[in-house]
Amino acid sequence: MRDRVETNRQLHSWLSDSHLLTLKHEKTKNYTSFETDATPMSMEVPTNKIVGIGRFYRATNWLDVYNAYLGIGDSQINYSDEKFSHLIELINDQGPAAFVRIANRENTIEPILAVYNGQLDEYYVYGNGSHRTYLAKLLNIECITCQVDIYRPANLMVEP
């Protein structure tokens, strides 16, 4: 594995300062409980409508997880160093386009799982796909493929 400093320098070269600033100021949301229609469907999800990732519930903004990975943030944020390092090496070696192809494979063993809240027009990722989703947001990738359940507050269902 590459030296962490060199790996981070390469990844950072793919990131714009303005996007990092946006991520720093964009607060994340966490759903503590939800009901879904329990019939997930595969669909393209705009990353700008993803408002939270369950695994990273301690993060208060989108930059917190990246800072924790860099070793300058909250060490209590629950991420897998191995998963991040593997995906970041892929991005550094082959570029963001290769990452997009892998993140969007429908035949992946662990599809990205999301819940859509139609009342707020936003998505929340839970379970599988946390690291891929986070890196897609970090890299400002427009859409990712997810298995999406519909959130039903008070039995109200709104289709995406």
**47: Cβ–Cβ under 8 A, 6 or more apart, which residues?**
133, 136, 137, 140, 141, 142, 143, 144
pLDDT more than 90, % of the chain: 16
Higher pLDDT, 102 or 131: 131
Q: Is the pLDDT at 39 greater than 80, yes or no?
A: no
**72: Cβ–Cβ under 8 A, 6 or more apart, which residues?**
none
Q: What is the mean pLDDT of residues 60-83?
A: 80
pLDDT digits (tens, 9 = 90+) for 5-33: 566 777 777 788 888 888 888 888 766 55
Lookup: tokens for 156: 């109200």
Higher pLDDT, 103 or 44: 44
The confidence band for 156, taking pLDDT boundaries of 50, 70 and 90, is: very low
- Tell how strand 113-117 and strand 122-125 pair up: antiparallel
CA distances from 138 to 32, 69, 88, 156 (A): 24, 12, 11, 32
**Domain positions in the chain:** 4-155
Per DSSP, the three-state class of 70 is helix
Instruction: Say how far apart CA 139 and CA 71 lie, in whole Å.
Output: 19
pLDDT more than 70, % of the chain: 79
Per DSSP, the three-state class of 45 is strand
Beta bridge partners of 46: 143
* C-beta contacts of 36-42 below 8 A and 24+ residues apart: 36/115, 36/149, 36/150, 36/151, 36/152, 37/149, 37/150, 37/152, 37/157, 38/149, 39/149, 40/113, 40/147, 40/148, 40/149, 41/147, 41/148, 42/106, 42/111, 42/145, 42/146, 42/147, 42/148
pLDDT digits (tens, 9 = 90+) for 43-52: 999 999 999 8
Q: Is the pLDDT at 119 greater than 60, yes or no?
A: yes
Give the per-residue pLDDT at 70.
79
Give the per-residue pLDDT at 155.
44
Residue 130 · residue 96 · CB < 8 Å: no
Q: Is the pLDDT at 54 greater than 70, yes or no?
A: yes
Q: Is the pLDDT at 1 greater than 50, yes or no?
A: no
